[in-house]
Structure 1
Amino acid sequence: MDSGVIEGGLNVTLTIRLLMHGKEVGSIIGKKGESVKKMREESGARINISEGNCPERIITLAGPTTAIFKAFSMIIEKLEEDISSSMTNSTATSKPPVTLRIVVPASQCGSLIGKGGCKIKEIRESTGAQVQVAGDMLPNSTERAITIAGTSQSIIECVKQICVVMLEVSSPPKGVTIPYRPKPSGSPVIFAGGQVCLIYFLNLYTCFYLDHLINLLLFLLILVLFIYFWLVDLGGMDASAQTSSHEMTIPNDLIGCIIGRQGAKINEIRQMSGAQIKIANPVEGSADRQVTITGSTASISLAEYLINARSQTRTLSIET
């Protein structure tokens, strides 16, 4: 969230990121984009929706506070309308609450939760909304999801209080923020030797917004690397057969993102690159961790690239 000069409480410029399922996003966009167009015109907020064949999408609201919360209210009302419509032919006796997720930097969640959970408890009690802060970061990011459920008014008031906490207590976020980007549907196809199928990169590129030059450059770089490593494997070049080691350092605050939950992300890098990757234990007084990569020249290069891509994703964030 970006803040301007605070005047009279929450009179600032904000950027709020909502994480929604594709069906919900489709309802907000509306037929031929009519719904989202109306929201933009009536609220004055900038509303951008991530592209790509992804099960989840990011909706970004940006602008002055009044515009942001006008747009936010219209989105909540739309979700509530959808719930009411789904109840028309339902046998359920009670209407389920409106539920949505906002995405925030993990470094700001501590202030939001408060010592012993006191702050999040205060927000729940004062707004009447149910609020749950995810314990784990979203995949390939340093952000966490906050799930909010309740009535329209309770959710709006809850989000306002969350914004106040993050703007007044912990703004700006600490360290490097790697934004969450939903992945496209489908799984990568792996070749022998750890090379990833070109189709995976094409899908990944699609989810990185086709109309942005920086993503085009990223796609071209990945494509060149893919072709190079594939040719190395097919040609049996000596460089691929030789085994060597390479060392690099990673900031401690990014190690968790690179390792992933139960080691899922580092194992993915190992599988994709075909290299052995060992992360040294933390050293007291040091802000970095040593990472040793062992394998062929091609495997080491690809592993190093993938690790750096995870730790430097911030440079790829889209200003919408």
Structure 2
Amino acid sequence: MDSGVIEGGLNVTLTIRLLMHGKEVGSIIGKKGESVKKMREESGARINISEGNCPERIITLAGPTTAIFKAFSMIIEKLEEDISSSMTNSTATSKPPVTLRIVVPASQCGSLIGKGGCKIKEIRESTGAQVQVAGDMLPNSTERAITIAGTPQSIIECVKQICVVMLESPPKGVTIPYRPKPSGSPVIFAGGQAYAVQGQHAIPQPDSSSAAISPQLTKLHQLAMQQSPFPIAPSNQGFTGIDASAQTSSHEMTIPNDLIGCIIGRQGSKINEIRQMSGAQIKIANPVDGSTDRQVTITGSPASISLAEYLINARLSSEATGLAAN
């Protein structure tokens, strides 16, 4: 079955769950909710946004396939617009890809990956999008996140193909949906102003001297904020992590010893995920006596280095949020 089946508007009701950072959700809701209201009216899809002051929110799209993909396209266009407008004040020469995460029951991930990874490889090759299925389930749930990066068109095509697989292989057993935790965002003081880290962003906070600040979180915040807009090499096929024609260079960054675990992951799962998605080589130096930091060397094309750096910083930011919530 190909994705044309979905294009033709199968008479089925679909549900797509997107996991987004608070700032992205704010952009989709729009001033006084006008943006999301327009999406609901024009697409005919039900669009539900999870409540709560959380660093992450779930956006649920439900309805007939045609309505779902109209709404989904509008969300992607909004994210693309936000990237373009953030580029106007940036020194980056090329635009980063649109990146989003969808949440699916873990029991369906096997069908999506296919034997020996054949299905996910086919989806990557036919759509030109980067697709990465998380190795671990999201906290307190039986769902996994799938990260998709690319041009708006390649992402839409990719999600259509994922939906076809999911319709053919319904979830097994009971699915416990992922619910983001309310914000216990780390608060960092800089220049007398308190900031909360939400995803990749520092949000100025009203003064609260009672906020518990730990040196570890301050360090995390500095690391997460080091990243400048990340130049990603464009390609006519959508986004590709490896650009063989670009010259290879290397970039070094330091990460505190006590945070290196969140970058490596269980049995190296996280670092392998970052390597695979970015196409960069990443080497973590052995601990040095007397040093509290570890040296990380990223080698590859400028595009793959910047994506690897972005993914590492995103892991550090989410770890900061998790630390505060515990």
TM-score with structure 1 length normalisation?
0.56
Q: 1:302 to 1:75 in 2, by over 3 A?
A: closer
Q: CA RMSD in A?
A: 16.1
Q: Which has the larger displacement, 14-23 or 262-271?
A: 262-271
Deviation at 1:86, TM superposition (A): 0.2
Residue 178 of structure 1 aligns to a residue whose secondary structure is coil
Q: Deviations over 1:57-99 (max 9, x none)?
A: 0000000000000000000000000000000011101000000
Q: Aligned with 1:103: secondary structure?
A: strand
Alpha-carbon deviations, 1:214-268, whole Å to 9, x = none? xxxxxxxxxxxxxxxxxxxxxx999999999999999999999999989999999
When residues 34 and 262 of structure 1 are mapped into structure 2, their CA distance, relative to the original with a 3 A threshold, is: same
Relative to structure 1, the CA distance from residue 177 to residue 84 in structure 2 (aligned partners, 3 Å threshold; closer, same or farther) is: same
- The structure with the greater share of residues assigned to strand is 2
CA contact (8 A) 1:107 1:173 kept: yes
How far apart are 1:11 and its partner, in Å?
4.0
SS at match of 2:177: coil
| 8 A contact 2:254–2:294 mirrored in 1 | yes
Are the counterparts in 2 of residues 133 and 145 from structure 1 also a CA contact under 8 Å?
Answer: yes
* Contact 1:28–1:78 (8 Å) recurs in 2: yes
Which runs of 5 or more residues in structure 2 are unaligned?
A: 194-240
What SS is found at the alignment partner of 2:244?
Answer: helix
Q: Is the 8 A contact 1:251 1:289 kept in 2?
A: yes
> Cα distance 1:93–1:34, how it changes in 2: closer, same or farther (>3 A)?
same
Once residues 89 and 280 of structure 1 are traced to their aligned partners in structure 2, the CA distance between those partners, rounded to angstroms, is 35
Q: Are 2:308 and 1:306 equivalent residues in the alignment?
A: no
1:175 Cα offset (Å): 1.1
Please say if residues 21 and 56 of structure 1, whose CA atoms lie closer than 8 Å, have aligned partners that are also in contact. yes
What displacement does 1:185 show? 1.7
> 3-state DSSP class of the match of 1:317?
helix
1:114 CA displacement? 0.4
Helix, strand or coil for the counterpart of 1:140?
coil
Query: Is contact 2:130–2:277 with CA below 8 Å preserved after alignment?
Result: no
> Secondary structure at 1:156's aligned position in 2?
helix
Indicate if the aligned counterparts of 1:87 and 1:95 stay in contact, CA closer than 8 A. Answer: yes
On the 8 A contact 2:184/2:321 being kept in 1, the answer is: no
Q: Secondary structure at the match of 2:162?
A: helix
Q: Give the SS at the match of 1:125.
A: helix
Number of paired residues?
278
User: Which has the larger share of helix?
Assistant: 1
CA contact (8 A) 1:274 1:299 kept: yes
Asked whether the 8 Å contact 2:106–2:144 carries over to 1, the reply is yes
Q: Per the alignment, do residues 132 and 156 of structure 1 end up closer, same or farther by CA in structure 2, a change over 3 Å counting?
A: same
CA distance 1:174–1:317, shift in 2 (3 Å): farther
Q: Is the 8 A contact 1:3 1:167 kept in 2?
A: no
C-alpha displacement of 1:108 = 0.2
Please say which structure displays the higher CA radius of gyration.
1
Shift of the alpha carbon at 1:172? 2.4
Contact 1:194 1:271 (C-alpha < 8 Å) held by counterparts: no
Higher relative contact order (CA 8 A, sep 6+): 2
The DSSP-based 3-state class of the residue aligned with 1:63 is strand
Change (3 A) 1:279 1:180: farther
TM-score, structure 2 as length reference: 0.55
Change in Cα spacing, 1:270 to 1:299, as seen in structure 2 (3 Å) is same
Cα deviation digits, residues 33-57 of structure 1 (max 9, x gap) = 0000000000000000000011000
**Alignment partner of 1:162: what SS?**
helix
Judged with a 3 Å threshold, the aligned counterparts in structure 2 of structure 1 residues 271 and 28 are, in CA distance, closer, same or farther, namely closer
1:40 and 1:105 mapped to 2: Cα distance?
25
Shift >3 Å, 4+ stretches: 1-11, 187-195, 236-320
Structure 1 pair 260–2 and aligned structure 2 pair: CA distance change class (3 A): farther
Greater shift in the superposed pair: 139-148 or 280-289 = 280-289
**Cα distance, 1:268–1:93 mapped onto 2, change above 3 Å:** closer
Equivalent position of 1:252 in the other structure: 257
The answer as to whether partners of 1:17 and 1:61 remain within 8 angstroms in 2 is yes
Distance in 2, matches of 1:242 and 1:295, equals 8
Over 3 Å counting, the alpha-carbon distance change for 1:275 and 1:92 in structure 2 is closer
Q: Give the Cα–Cα distance (whole angstroms) in 1 for the partners of residues 300 and 93 of structure 2.
A: 61
Check whether the contact 2:249–2:300 (CA below 8 A) recurs between aligned residues: yes
- 1:178–1:314: 8 Å Cα contact kept in structure 2? no
Mapped to 2, the partners of 1:55 and 1:73 lie a distance apart of 23
Structure 1 unaligned blocks of 5 or more:
196-235
Whole-angstrom distance in 2 between the partners of 1:20 and 1:176: 24
In structure 2, the CA distance between the partners of 1:285 and 1:312, relative to structure 1 (3 Å rule), is farther
Shift of 1:286: 49
Stretch of structure 1 that moved more, 129-138 or 4-13: 4-13
Matches of 2:8 and 2:302 in 1, distance apart? 59
Contact 2:131 2:277 in 1 (8 A): no
